Amino acid sequence: MKFELTNMRIKVTDIQYLNDLRAVANKLGKNSLKQRDYSKKNGAKYSLTSAIKRFENWDTLLKKAGLEGEKSLKGMEYGEKEIKDEVLLADLVRLANEINNPNITISDYDKYGKYSAVTMSARFGSWNKAKERANLEVKYITNNSNEDLFQNILDLWTLLGRQPKYGEVISPNSKFNGSTYARRFGSWRAALAAFIDYVNSENNDEEIADSDTPLIPINILAVKSKEIQKEIKIKRTPRGINLRLRWTILKRDNFSCTKCGRSPAKDQSIILHVDHIIPWSKDGETVIDNLETLCEGCNLGKSDLL
Ligand SMILES: [Zn+2]
């Protein structure tokens, strides 16, 4: 029989490290430890460097051991300031894959992540922003309807004055990432196609007045009985201008103000509104012929005149 040498170096388990850390803290009567406290002199069984190596950084080690971490003024975890953005994000992605859930929560992350959710939030602005940066599904996106995603396409398209490219579907111009669209529709191209289908589709209840129901001229209302007037009022178009109509008007007006010609594509400070020509309150209907694109400045000027 042939014998082989077994590897005699027994691997220290995570739990052994953590227990040892707690034992040293206990011995010193502290609820947190400085790196230099973890030494043979204080009864540490293992080496500081191997312990840190196992847990990536000292602060994580402290936290996993149930000890207090040290925090900087900015609320960033001690020792995590130097870690690069990509490394933090990569860990977020890794964990999301491991737990098979892109909607990773702060408590998930604090339990299983290498770093801390506090660091992630401080570094990227918020927990959701960290996930967004890591291209993970953010909760509010998951809950969003296609209409919200289409609305964002409309806004982006208006801002650029043309069809947005995949690389342009990023903050701050876009509320959602390109990857969100890719996940929902298969690709950015497919998302654009779905958007175009949507704005082209008919049979929206809100648009009945636009095609099927003939509008009764306002002067006729005067001679009708009150009852009929009431009935006619009910059949008025809704005041709100839905996404399809807004798209139609913006496209028709070339994503520019019909009064002064300014556009967000040329000047990002310009904000465009689709507005009633004859105000809805003055019996103007929400139909293509009574809608126009105006910049905020011209729109305010108009409301002063009316
Ligand atoms: Zn204008």
Mapping DSSP onto H, E and C, the string for 14-45 reads HHHHHHHHHHHHHHHCCCCCCHHHCCHHHCCC
Query: Rounded to an integer, what distance in angstroms lies between the CA atom of residue 288 and that of residue 276?
Result: 9
Q: Which among 40-54, 149-163, 166-180 has the top mean pLDDT?
A: 149-163
Ligand 1 centroid distance, CA of 209 (Å): 28
Q: What percent of the chain has pLDDT over 70?
A: 77
pLDDT at position 219 is 45
Ligand 1 centroid distance, CA of 246 (Å): 17
* Mean pLDDT over each residue of the chain, to the nearest integer: 79
Ligand 1 centroid distance, CA of 211 (Å): 29
- Could you tell me the pLDDT band of residue 6, with boundaries at 50, 70 and 90? low
Number of Cα atoms under 13 Å in the Cβ half of residue 3: 3
pLDDT at position 164 is 94
Q: Is the pLDDT of residue 256 over 90?
A: yes
Least confident of 105-109, 135-139, 178-182, 183-187: 135-139
Q: What is the mean pLDDT of residues 166-175?
A: 89
- Could you tell me the pLDDT band of residue 180, with boundaries at 50, 70 and 90? confident
Ligand 1 centroid distance, CA of 298 (Å): 4
Ligand 1 centroid distance, CA of 254 (Å): 13
Ligand 1 centroid distance, CA of 270 (Å): 8
Could you say which DSSP state residue 110 is in? H
Ligand 1 centroid distance, CA of 262 (Å): 6
Least confident of 79-83, 146-150, 220-224: 220-224
Ligand 1 centroid distance, CA of 261 (Å): 6
**What is the four-CA torsion angle of 60, 64, 67, 73, rounded to 10 degrees?**
30
pLDDT at position 57 is 80
Least confident of 16-30, 46-60, 68-82, 286-300: 68-82
Ligand 1 centroid distance, CA of 287 (Å): 21
pLDDT at position 252 is 96
Number of Cα atoms under 13 Å in the Cβ half of residue 63: 23
Q: Which of 295, 274, 270, 269 is nearest to 284 (CA)?
A: 274
Ligand 1 centroid distance, CA of 296 (Å): 7
Ligand 1 centroid distance, CA of 169 (Å): 26
Ligand 1 centroid distance, CA of 267 (Å): 12
197, 303 Cβ separation under 8 angstroms = no
According to DSSP H, which parts of 143-281 are helical? 146-160, 178-185, 188-200, 208-211, 218-221, 226-234, 243-252
Q: What is the mean pLDDT of residues 100-117?
A: 81
Ligand 1 centroid distance, CA of 149 (Å): 27
Q: What is the mean pLDDT of residues 1-30?
A: 76
Q: What percent of the chain has pLDDT over 90?
A: 28
Query: Rounded to an integer, what distance in angstroms lies between the CA atom of residue 267 and that of residue 253?
Result: 16
Ligand 1 centroid distance, CA of 263 (Å): 8
- For residue 276, what is the enclosing H or E element? strand 272-276
Could you say which DSSP state residue 166 is in? G
Query: Rounded to an integer, what distance in angstroms lies between the CA atom of residue 262 and that of residue 257?
Result: 5
Ligand 1 centroid distance, CA of 238 (Å): 25
pLDDT at position 289 is 95
Q: Which of 209, 235, 207, 210 is nearest to 221 (CA)?
A: 235
Q: Which among 129-133, 205-209, 293-297 has the top mean pLDDT?
A: 293-297
pLDDT tens digits, 128-144: 888 888 876 554 445 56
Helix (H, G, I), strand (E, B) or coil at 217: coil
Ligand 1 centroid distance, CA of 92 (Å): 45
Ligand 1 centroid distance, CA of 113 (Å): 51
The correct CATH number of 213-305 out of 1.10.30, 3.30.70, 1.10.3470, 3.40.50 is 1.10.30
Q: Record the pTM.
A: 0.46
Domain-wise residue ranges, the chain = 14-64, 85-140, 144-200, 213-305
Ligand 1 centroid distance, CA of 158 (Å): 14
Q: Is the pLDDT of residue 7 over 60?
A: no
pLDDT at position 3 is 61
Ligand 1 centroid distance, CA of 259 (Å): 5
- For residue 292, what is the enclosing H or E element? strand 291-295
